């Protein structure tokens, strides 16, 4: 008998959680930071210590992905913007750490990864 598999992507799991809990999830992805050499990692982490709350910096950088839930989109977006600058505002892209706010409806309402305007 053939078993039908239903593969899920990380985004789908986060969206399902947000829907089930009726929360806004701030997803922080450190895969690019993890690929850096140890000296650059330390430099980047020190940079973010000026932005990320002192009691959360270890939590964020001790994992390859971190998730925070919020009761409102405004709070989740405010935290994302306070902690993680837009990729377009960084001259060295090694400092870029992508984050997204995922809503209970499954949409991404905010991301700090933007495309530059070629005007």
- 98 φ, ψ (degrees, to nearest 5): -80, 140
For residue 116, tell me if it sits in a domain.
Answer: no
For residue 117, tell me if it sits in a domain.
Answer: no
For residue 1, tell me if it sits in a domain.
Answer: no
- The whole-angstrom separation of Cα 95 and Cα 93 is 5
Which structural domain range is residue 44 located in? 10-111
For residue 2, tell me if it sits in a domain.
Answer: no
For residue 70, tell me if it sits in a domain.
Answer: yes
Handedness of CA 69, 74, 75, 81 (dihedral sign): positive
For residue 59, tell me if it sits in a domain.
Answer: yes
Residue with tokens 């919020």: 70
For residue 119, tell me if it sits in a domain.
Answer: no
Residue with tokens 């925070």: 68
Residue with tokens 């870029």: 96
For the stretch 7-45, pLDDT in tens is 999 999 999 999 999 999 999 999 999 999 999 999 999
Tally of structural domains, the chain:
1
Q: What is the pTM of this model?
A: 0.89
For the stretch 52-105, pLDDT in tens is 999 999 999 999 999 999 999 999 999 999 999 999 999 999 999 999 999 999
For residue 27, tell me if it sits in a domain.
Answer: yes
């Amino acid at each position: 008998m053939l078993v039908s598999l239903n593969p899920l992507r990380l985004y789908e799991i986060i969206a399902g959680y947000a829907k089930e809990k009726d929360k806004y999830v701030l997803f922080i992805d450190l895969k690019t930071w993890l690929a850096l050499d140890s000296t650059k990692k330390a430099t980047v982490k020190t940079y973010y210590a000026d932005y990320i709350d002192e009691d959360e910096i270890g939590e964020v950088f001790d994992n390859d992905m971190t998730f925070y839930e919020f009761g409102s989109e405004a709070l989740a977006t405010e935290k994302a913007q306070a902690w993680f600058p837009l990729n377009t505002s960084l001259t060295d892209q090694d400092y870029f750490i992508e984050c997204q706010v995922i809503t209970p409806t499954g949409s991404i309402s905010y991301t700090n990864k933007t495309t530059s305007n070629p005007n």
